[in-house]
Structure 1
């Protein structure tokens, strides 16, 4: 199906259903019994406020919507809002918002979208999936968050807010079973131990077979969380939280582009037909994809949050956090087998804030400290038969240490009762060290010689935010903001020595406008946004020369881009039993400048699409012969020009028998490139429309409910990200270009039962 056909289908969905899954999710959760839309409270700006009065681009996904749509990891967020795309690369979620994001694939690569759990940043995105349970909400902040969130939030931030202990004895237990032998048991128990102390425990157990033919893309997790909240008086409270999780199974997998005859969309790279196709296209040389992937990830965290009222002056908030991750896994990517045993991350964070708000002034001042120690042993090897690279085996023993510290402040001042100004600054210092060695048997001069990894990088930057707020009326709010975000530079690992293999920071400047409205006695919500961004020195990973002339996947600062666009979100509570709405997003994201140097010695392997021009051989700054590839004007990866969501819900009143809630929703997007690998045509995927439905029965005056659900009802293949095969092209220009991609789940269905107590 072509992208135009799918786009027309998407428009039809909007016309028929007229609903949405973004702000609708939270609005639906908090709608009252009189059929009005209630206030949705967020804390994205370090204070509690209505989302309709928050001067930032934000989507809020409520607890009920997260559960009903099966959101259990970052990649699932795309099910609710295509303004954020998350591709799963092995254990790493690669997140992009409006064209700004990253291709994180290892423990050294910094992220461009910051994930946090209850205010504690997760420096390694591989550990965030384990926290998607017993959540109150998820806040998706679009665009640079350089003042309050700091480094590595150029694309935005995703805040996971867990349910806090309360003074009510309550809990729930949910059991679920579905196809792919999906078994899930989750629950929570909240116990007030006294009028000043409460605890809350929660757990999540998941065991599901893989979606792909070799068992990859499975889900095997066990997680538990315990919190305690102590509030001895009105001026002090302390919350302490600890959690542990384990992830097993095979882990993430990938499929082959173009799809081969005799296979379906979810046949993995290791499928015999796929293996044979790649072998035939490369004169019999093949790095086979096997089915021995595995995942063994352990993580535990502890954090605390103390709030102290300092009279009328301010509230002091202290948030220390500690995270420990240990990962052993094997995956196939880039045509190579990679085994990590082990990879460890030790993260310590501390944030201190002073804040206050009066009728005229809202302000926050703070300081932040981040430290992470990383170690991994990484064995990358090729298994080609017959071959000239049988001995190819790169052994990486890498140690890195990241330290970051910052001071920040932001204030909103009321010039009149309806007009306010916003100002904020943040100063950040980063220090990144690396050590260890790389032994590469495939490079000259001496096979097997270790390349000593050592070096230190230092960066600093000032990021800021300025803006205006205006209350057009009691139910209409307008904002205009300008801001800057910063993502630190760093190292990539490759067979070079010293302080080589580094890249500089990237920055993003943003201008954003928003108008949020409620009409007709809080039954109709219409929110409009527009944005213009300038993206400079974007960090891009591609095949190239390292500084000492070795061929590797290198990360460079490749170019400039200017994403711009807008969105409209509508929610209409047509009656106490009917809710409709729609959301449409437009993003035009093109590179103004995008230059990548490709090794001239590998010219026979270079494949480009019509969006890129290849220049003549030239010498780069390191003295290597390269082919300059100019992809200026090409779109940013994984960013559809048009996307949206649709939703309709009706509640059937069954009288004394209870009620039946029916929901139908859809998510759609137009075509997009899955990566910026020289824009080979096969990396462009068609548009899609995904339909979902669920039906929930709740007996009258009963603590239990039963839900039947179906997701991706038309079995649509939705691809999220990928990369060209590393051995692609050995067969010459007359052979096909192969591409490996992650893929969303096929049709899934099941039954879920919940008991509240």
Structure 2
């Protein structure tokens, strides 16, 4: 690997120097406007505005025009098509970002993102609703590699920074109005208005609204249920900028947003795989919906401000932000996907599953409520940008309060009726001090270094565990209906989270009933338990209906159940505290004015935390922060190509990934013989991985208005250590036992070995305006969706570890590989000569590729989260 990287770097520098020697000022002048355009691409990765070609690292910046022209509209995950090595998925409203195979699939209160999202440089701890910021932008910056020193918290894999357009000073009243229509009944608008307030201040208002039908379809009989993926999003933003002179700058921004719709799409492929069909053999967007209607309602708002002052040689800057997220979701209840030959008939009440058909009258689903109130504060001192020693030092403080409620219902449950995790008090704090600097050794060589100390603390109090209701009858056990039409759990509206001393059936029944805010129209639980609460029927009121007892179970003559068994969630308390150091060292060397060679060694951490506890007397297990150490060597080059300035950049990198967190199982209960028969998922630092690769990019100006952008990434990942429980094999009918699997040698999820992007665009001037078009083709080779990598599944016969059977992953229901694919986006447009009008058409995922971007697997579960289906449309924009 090392020889290949160095060979590529040396070759690139040699070619660039041959094409554009340092003593050729005439050629530079001949490039004219092309050179200016290239230098004008600005990034703020190192907390200073600098040309992308002068930044000693791997980053990409996409402007609002770039995104809009390629059909990347108000949908953050679509941006990955334009950025090699970037993977973005959305599970239950949580945006999961992976860069070069590094990220995190746990963005709950127990986890954190592995790639740090920012808005205008302000850290966003809960990446929900980031699409509500995706309008009226200056650009989006994606920086690859750990940024522990410069960006700090959870910048393990890199950063994604959404930069909004700022108010314009000293001009006239101006703005734009834009409307669009598209397939899937898409319609929307976007607008921005700039209000000058004299010569030194201005306001800018921007807003957008979009409605869009789902890319999924309901393949079942209950056609009144709308499929997941319907969007109805709105947002607004008010910005203020005040700059009375070149010393003082004051910026403030208030934003609000709301996302409505039917939730985020998932495709259950487990049953189809068990029936012998691979995901490529079925239409993964054809889902059999049943029971509850999916719904999402996400309300968010935030405020951020920046004050800068230049004291002459020393600059003072304060950044502060506050964000409030209030998220609620009802999962679209589904019975998986359809496949050729599947029986889609409705199974009559009381008939067993072996009858065939589908139990549409099943309202088992998930409810999620997540609130977050977070604030960040950063105070920085820095030198002038033109100083020989350019330094930055300061402090950072972060505090987040969360309230989280989750309920998974098993409608028509016997003994098990659901799982509740409700945490009304989740607290996270972090503070850091840092320093970073670059010193000019001479006019060509620069050395840099930085250090950051971080202290992290988390705590959580609430309840977690199963709702268990066993109701005996003559001839069997009655089921409990829970979650039918109109049902709503209490979640964070629970009157009490104290379970200490609740030992009687009456106490337990009352506690379960307190978890229901509104009963469903055909629920039975309240009727069955009410007699226990008021003492009139100590074993509960027996109800005999075909949908809960079938034809084989009857009520005892006294109207009560023959026995009752109740279980409630237990109290949960957890806390953790960690501190760590991040650092970076590196150098930059100008081989010429147009050729930069650099090398850096840097680290990044992702916060540690704690796990669930199921016994108030047991301290919950904690896990340490993950750590990534990265070596990157690269070069950036500008050169003449057919008399025009073009670029070629290349970098090689090596990552050492330590204390990697994988999900494992821990025993929480034992049977009378002392054998484990109850388990829970935990996060553990049992992994270690190695990653390396080469990334190259080039922009070629070809004449006649053509520009060709090429970007290629070669990436190798390997898990070096990781022994965990294989949750695919978990057998709840056998106490929840599971086999162990050694992940050593596997690839990291979502890491394609080869990624290649090509973007061709052209602009042609006419007497009445400018016509332009562009096309982007993005290819990714195959990748695995989980750490299991299609490995065989070993099912155990009993808790002693005796093997019952071994099945290949596909036969067991867990096909894990996404085949290689190429996605094509395109756009065309015409701008009037004055620039007042623009008309454009766009299309994304034109070949309508179905791509799995994430998989959630467990016992009997293999849910895929897909890319957005093909979309296209036209928009008209008026600038004034």
Task: Give the TM-score normalised by the residue count of structure 1.
Answer: 0.85
1:370 corresponds, among 398, 402, 420, to 398
Q: Distance in 2 between matches of 1:525 and 1:708?
A: 29
Contact map agreement 1:165 1:190 (CA 8 A) in 2: yes
The residue number in structure 1 matching 2:755 is 643
Contact map agreement 1:542 1:554 (CA 8 A) in 2: yes
1:659 to 2:792 alignment: no
Residue 599 (structure 1) shift: 7.6
1:723 corresponds, among 839, 851, 856, to 856
Shifted more, 694-703 versus 131-140: the winner is 694-703
Residue 496 (structure 1) shift: 4.5
Aligned positions of 1:653-732 closer than 5 A = 653=765, 655-677=766-788, 679=790, 680-681=809-810, 682-724=815-857, 726-728=858-860
Q: Distance in 1 between matches of 2:454 and 2:76?
A: 27
Residue 537 (structure 1) shift: 1.6
Contact map agreement 1:501 1:546 (CA 8 A) in 2: no
Q: Secondary structure at the match of 2:116?
A: strand
Deviations 1:37-87 (A, max 9, x none): 443111111111111111222111112111122242331121211310011
The residue number in structure 2 matching 1:528 is 650
Residue 743 (structure 1) shift: 0.9
Residue 412 (structure 1) shift: 0.5
Deviations 1:522-564 (A, max 9, x none): 6211010110001112122355545997423322223100110
| 1:213/1:667 CA distance change after superposition, 3 Å | same
The residue number in structure 1 matching 2:587 is 468
The residue number in structure 2 matching 1:67 is 68
The residue number in structure 2 matching 1:338 is 366
1:627 to 2:755 alignment: no
Aligned length: 680
1:181 to 2:185 alignment: yes
Q: Distance in 1 between matches of 2:374 and 2:601?
A: 32
The residue number in structure 1 matching 2:429 is 403
Aligned positions of 1:437-476 closer than 5 A = 437-441=463-467, 447-476=566-595
1:740 to 2:740 alignment: no
Shifted more, 249-258 versus 85-94: the winner is 249-258
Residue 129 (structure 1) shift: 2.3
The residue number in structure 2 matching 1:614 is none
Q: Distance in 2 between matches of 1:301 and 1:578?
A: 41
Aligned positions of 1:292-441 closer than 5 A = 292-312=293-313, 314-331=314-331, 337-340=365-368, 342-356=369-383, 357-383=385-411, 390-441=416-467
Deviations 1:402-438 (A, max 9, x none): 0000000100001111001111000000110111112
Contact map agreement 2:86 2:100 (CA 8 A) in 1: yes
Contact map agreement 1:97 1:142 (CA 8 A) in 2: yes
Q: Distance in 2 between matches of 1:372 and 1:544?
A: 28
Q: Distance in 2 between matches of 1:332 and 1:683?
A: 23
Residue 104 (structure 1) shift: 2.5
Q: Distance in 2 between matches of 1:699 and 1:264?
A: 46
Contact map agreement 1:526 1:571 (CA 8 A) in 2: yes
The residue number in structure 1 matching 2:607 is 488
Contact map agreement 1:489 1:506 (CA 8 A) in 2: yes
Q: Distance in 1 between matches of 2:100 and 2:198?
A: 47
Deviations 1:642-673 (A, max 9, x none): 011111112233x3232221212111100001
Q: Secondary structure at the match of 2:288?
A: coil
The residue number in structure 1 matching 2:628 is 508
Deviations 1:448-500 (A, max 9, x none): 23321113211000000100100111011111000111111113446443531
Q: Distance in 2 between matches of 1:216 and 1:449?
A: 31
Residue 501 (structure 1) shift: 4.5
1:144 to 2:146 alignment: yes
1:565 to 2:688 alignment: no
| 1:542/1:661 CA distance change after superposition, 3 Å | farther
Aligned positions of 1:13-92 closer than 5 A = 32=33, 37-69=38-70, 70-92=72-94
| 1:207/1:671 CA distance change after superposition, 3 Å | same
1:133 corresponds, among 114, 128, 135, to 135
Q: Secondary structure at the match of 1:437?
A: strand
The residue number in structure 2 matching 1:213 is 217
**Structure whose CA Rg is larger:** 2
The residue number in structure 2 matching 1:579 is 707
| 1:746/1:543 CA distance change after superposition, 3 Å | farther
Deviations 1:260-305 (A, max 9, x none): 879953435434xxxxxxxxxxxxxxxxx64511111111101110
| 1:599/1:79 CA distance change after superposition, 3 Å | closer
| 1:604/1:82 CA distance change after superposition, 3 Å | farther
Q: Secondary structure at the match of 1:64?
A: helix
1:153 to 2:141 alignment: no
| Unpaired segments ≥5 residues, structure 1 | 1-29, 272-288, 607-616, 618-623, 729-737
Residue 510 (structure 1) shift: 0.3
Residue 108 (structure 1) shift: 3.2
Aligned positions of 1:104-253 closer than 5 A = 104-167=106-169, 168-169=171-172, 170-214=174-218, 215-253=227-265
Residue 701 (structure 1) shift: 2.6
| Unpaired segments ≥5 residues, structure 2 | 1-30, 219-226, 336-363, 471-502, 504-564, 671-675, 791-808
Residue 213 (structure 1) shift: 1.2
Q: Secondary structure at the match of 2:74?
A: coil
Deviations 1:572-605 (A, max 9, x none): 0111511113111011011011210358994589
| 1:472/1:402 CA distance change after superposition, 3 Å | same
Contact map agreement 2:746 2:788 (CA 8 A) in 1: no
| 1:600/1:175 CA distance change after superposition, 3 Å | closer
Residue 333 (structure 1) shift: 8.9
Residue 196 (structure 1) shift: 1.6
Q: Secondary structure at the match of 1:65?
A: helix
1:103 to 2:110 alignment: no
Deviations 1:690-720 (A, max 9, x none): 1122111123234111111222221111110
Q: Distance in 1 between matches of 2:757 and 2:420?
A: 45
Residue 211 (structure 1) shift: 1.0
Contact map agreement 1:270 1:291 (CA 8 A) in 2: no
1:751 to 2:874 alignment: yes
Deviations 1:5-39 (A, max 9, x none): xxxxxxxxxxxxxxxxxxxxxxxxx9947996443
Residue 508 (structure 1) shift: 0.4
Residue 749 (structure 1) shift: 1.2
Contact map agreement 1:218 1:250 (CA 8 A) in 2: yes
Q: Secondary structure at the match of 1:210?
A: coil
Q: Distance in 2 between matches of 1:57 and 1:721?
A: 25
Q: Distance in 2 between matches of 1:745 and 1:320?
A: 34
Contact map agreement 1:37 1:573 (CA 8 A) in 2: no
Instruction: Using CA pairs under 8 Å that are at least 6 residues apart, name the structure with larger relative contact order, 1 or 2.
Output: 1
Q: Distance in 2 between matches of 1:208 and 1:494?
A: 41
Q: Secondary structure at the match of 2:78?
A: helix
| 1:61/1:244 CA distance change after superposition, 3 Å | same
Shifted more, 391-400 versus 262-271: the winner is 262-271
| 1:599/1:573 CA distance change after superposition, 3 Å | closer
Residue 241 (structure 1) shift: 0.7
| 1:112/1:405 CA distance change after superposition, 3 Å | same
